[in-house]
Structures are given as structure tokens and as C-alpha cells.
Amino acid sequence: MIDTTYKERVQWIDNCKGVAICLVILGHTLLTNNSWLIIYSFHMPLFFFLSGLVCNEKKYTWETFLKSRFNTLVIPYVFFYLVTWLYWLLVERRFRPVDLNWWQPLVGMVYGAQWNGLMEHNVILWFLPCLFVTEVLFFLISRIEKRGGQFIVVILLACCGFCFKTNFPWGFNIAFVALQFFWVGNMVYRVLEEHGKTSRQYKLLFCFVSLILIALYIALSIVLNNKVNMGANRFGNIFIFELLSFLGILALITFFYFLVDRKIGILSWLGRNTLAIYAFHQPILRIVRFVGVKYLRFFPVESNIFYALMADIVVVICLIPVVWFYNKYIYNFLNKIYLKYNRKSDGCLN
């Protein structure tokens, strides 16, 4: 049985989350490389899938589920948004001019989606309100008794989400698309819960299959050249987006479930601290890029994977004290203002 509580963590899931957050950081560093295509074709669907994988909605009532998700997603969203907005207002505007008045990002916080550049100071925070909407939609759909009925509703909502070209508040239309990955992740949770021990008997076979799937995914993502930016509501060719998203997720999940089900130092640490890393990595990355461009003659982080990896290693090192400070002081501070709820809950970004 999968146990995703705070005290007893499943190592292969933490490893997958560690890889996912590494892909997020690298994807925000590389902008003109084939590696960008490989990453963006599936990395955000992967996060929604992992969120569904660790969501056990059956233990909640409607009230406790809303409290849980408000506590773990909405309040951190507001906190991280305000902290990075103050940093942008007081520091970053001096070396990264953005055509915004000081108050406009606050409008972006309320809107909760990439719209008219109002979240430009830390645009990746769109994911938190969108995930909140996705999980609420999932909880409502999970009340449908038959899985077939759930599947039909999920597909219909995904089709509706693809039709809307403007980002709705809190990424409602993106959540319609993301719901399919969350729902499938939850279905996989059920399968592993029931048949996990049996499937591990075929470990070597599935390891070989996972390597073939990874190679196939990389080749197809480069050849098909489907440019995706889920936060900006850009999916390219919808059928290619669906194919590559699920293929990439299947390849990575199969690889880690069967081959790497043990604690791996840095990956495990990254997987345990995805929330703070996700929220703070982009401002730190911009500092690293600014310093590199200013003091090095050659620093092509946006197009050269070697320089991008070097920059990202520096970013992760800089994040270590930030994560430590967040876990030691901010986490406890936020607990005091959370709605009354046991925080040892499931979730992807924790």
C-alpha cells in the first residue's frame, strides 16, 4: 500500500518528484535547446500526475478536503507570492525592469493565472491556484460511483479546456486539461495499492521497457517539435501533447517504480522540499544568470545545456539555506495561521 504521509514517505515517489523539480528548474534555464522540447512536453503534466498519485480523497469529507487544500496550496501561494513580490519591488526591479506598476502584481495574485504579464515577478506560481482548482474538480468527480462515468466527465472537461484560449482566473481552463493527468495518477495509485507487490516480480522486464519508453519519448519529442507551455495555455498540437505527456509520464514512473525504489540523496531531498524550491528557484536563477552574464565573457545558459546545468547546480546550492530557513521557521509560522487541520496530509508539493 502506498503511504504518503509526512513521516513515512515512499522513496520512489520522492525520487520522481525530485526529477520533476529538476526538470522545472532546467526548463526555466534552457530556452532555445532541444532539451527544452523534451522537458516542456511533459514536465507539468507530470506534476499533476504525481499530485493525483499521492491523493487519497476517500479519507476526506467535503469540508476537510477544502480545508486541507486551502491550507497546503492557497495559503502558501499567497505567502510565496507576497514574499517574491516584495523582493521584486525592493531589489529585482533595479536589474530586471518590468513594465508594471508596483500594485499590478497584486491584481495578478487575485487573478491567479498568467494574464497580461501581471505575475511576471514570479510567473510560475500559477501552478498552485491551478492545482487547487484541479483537486477540487477531482474531488467532485470522485463522488461519481462508476469509473466509466468519471472518465467521461474528465474527457469532456479536457476538451472544454483545450477550447478556451484565454487564461481564466485561477487557471480554470488549464485545470480542466490538467484534471486528466491528476485523475489517471489517482487511478494508478489504486492499481499499485492492489497489485504493487505482484507487479514487482517482473522488475527486470519493466526496467527494460522503461528504458525503451524513455528513448522513444526523447526521440518523438524532438522529431514532433510540439511547443508546449501549459501555464500560458499553449499546447501546440493537442494529440501530440496528449501522446508525449502520457508517454513521458509512463516512462519515468515505470523507471523509478521498478528500478530506483530507494533513497537517493539529493533527489530525495529535492522531492521532499518541492514546494519551497518551486516557489523560490526562479528569482535565484535570475540572480545567477545576471551575475554570470555580467562577470563572464561567455555564459550561454539559455542555449547550452552544459552552462545551464552549471547554473542550476548553483541555484540548488543557493536554495539549501532557503529551504532550511523555510522548514525551520516559516513552515511553523504558517501553521499558526492555517485553518484547524492536521497538516500531515498528502500532496505533491511537500
Q: Give the span between the Cα atoms of 79 and 118, in whole angstroms.
A: 17
pLDDT for residue 146: 93
Report whether pLDDT(317) > 70.
yes
pLDDT for residue 208: 86
Q: For a pLDDT cut of 70, what percent of the chain falls above it?
A: 90
Q: What does the pLDDT look like over 134-176, one tens digit per residue? A: 999 999 999 999 999 999 999 999 999 999 988 999 999 999 9
Q: What does the pLDDT look like over 66-79, one tens digit per residue? A: 988 998 999 999 99
Query: What average pLDDT does range 218-235 have in this prediction?
Result: 94
Checking 330-334 for CB contacts under 8 A at 24+ apart, the result is: 330/79, 334/75, 334/76, 334/79
Among residues 232, 236, 208, the alpha carbon closest in space to that of 221 is found at 236
- Positive or negative torsion for Cα 164, 165, 169, 174: positive
Q: Give the span between the Cα atoms of 126 and 81, in whole angstroms.
A: 10
pLDDT for residue 200: 62
The CA-based angle 311-316-318, given to 5 degrees, is: 95
Q: Give the span between the Cα atoms of 134 and 179, in whole angstroms.
A: 6
CA distance to 17, 49, 278, per residue, from 322 (Å)? 19, 27, 12
All cell numbers assigned to 96: 530586471
Query: What average pLDDT does range 234-250 have in this prediction?
Result: 96
pTM of the model: 0.92
pLDDT for residue 58: 81
What Rg, from alpha-carbon coordinates, does the chain have? 20
Contact (Cβ atoms closer than 8 angstroms) between residue 64 and residue 38: no
CA distance to 141, 161, 182, 228, per residue, from 186 (Å)? 12, 20, 6, 24
Ordered by start, the domain boundaries in the chain are 31-194, 266-343
Contact (Cβ atoms closer than 8 angstroms) between residue 126 and residue 119: yes
Q: Give the span between the Cα atoms of 135 and 65, in whole angstroms.
A: 9
Contact (Cβ atoms closer than 8 angstroms) between residue 294 and residue 247: no
Lowest mean pLDDT among 41-50, 52-61, 201-210, 275-284: 201-210
In which band, very low, low, confident or very high, does the pLDDT at 9 lie, cut at 50, 70 and 90?
low
| Residue burial 330-348, b: 16+ Cβ < 10 Å; e: rest | beeebeeeeeebeeebbbb
Report whether pLDDT(108) > 50.
yes
